[in-house]
Amino acid sequence: MILTREVAELKRPEDVVRVRQVARALALQAGFGLVDQTKIVTAVSELGRNALIHGGGGTATLEVIEEGIRRGLRIVFRDEGPGIADVERALQDGYTTSGGLGIGLGGARRLMNEFEISSSPGKGTTVTIARWK
């Protein structure tokens, strides 16, 4: 069940800041403690910036969800950019095409409980992450 949903655009650098703020507010609302909030916000920052920089902009959909007795936060990042040809490789630490650290994607996976990525070259990339309390 979805308790709250927020959709945010990712078009400019400031939008990444805003999505982080929304994520922080929803994590608080879902009852996450400070450490989990920080992990979620950090993952959101990475994937939000990836969608903006590598994906040429997109959206983030953030949802506070409830499944039985557990509560969590799910975030879907969508862009219609160039896509990722080799996802496994992109997930490896240190792999970057833009002079970054090449850690964001793999790091976001480690920071969350659930991580799913689907990408097709030329069509875009969708990354779904979730963390449960």
Partner 1 sequence: MSTKSILPELVRRFEAEILNDWMREQRAAITLRADLLTDAELARQSAEFFAAFQAGLQGQDLGEITGPAWGTARDLLKEIARLRSRQGFSLSETATFVFSLKQPLFALCQRELEREAVLLVGELWTISVIIDKLGLFTAESALAAREEIIGRQQAELLELSTPVVKLWDKVLALPLIGTLDSNRTQVVMESLLQAIVDTGSSVAIIDITGVPTVDTLVAQHLMKTVSAARLMGADCIISGIRPAIAQSMVHLGVSFTEIVTKATLADALRHAFARTGVSVSRQAAG
Ligand X SMILES: Nc1ncnc2c1ncn2[C@@H]1O[C@H](COP(=O)(O)OP(=O)(O)OP(=O)(O)O)[C@@H](O)[C@H]1O
* Residue ranges binding ligand X (CB under 6 A): 46, 50-51, 54-55, 79, 81-84, 90, 95-98, 100-106, 125
Between residues 78 and 131, which has the closer beta carbon with respect to partner 1? Answer: 131
> Is residue 110 a contact residue for partner 1 (CB under 8 A)?
yes
SS3 33: coil
Answer yes or no whether residue 31 interacts with partner 1 by CB under 8 A. no
Q: Which of 81, 54, 56, 60 is CA-nearest to residue 16?
A: 60
Confirm or reject binding of residue 48 to Mg ion (CB under 5 A).
no
Show the CA angle centred on residue 40, arms to residues 17 and 125, nearest 5°. Answer: 75
- CA 37 to chain CA mean position, Å: 13
Q: Say if CB 41 and CB 20 are below 8 A apart.
A: yes
Binding mask 58-77 for Mg ion (x = CB under 5 A): --------------------
Residue 41 binds: one of ligand X, Mg ion, partner 1, none (C-beta under 5 to 8 A by kind): partner 1
Q: What 8-state DSSP symbol labels residue 95?
A: -
CB of 99 to ligand X, least distance (A): 7
Angstrom distance (rounded) from CA 93 to CA 43: 15
Contacted entry of ligand X, partner 1, Mg ion, none for residue 90, CB cut-off 5 to 8 Å set by kind: ligand X
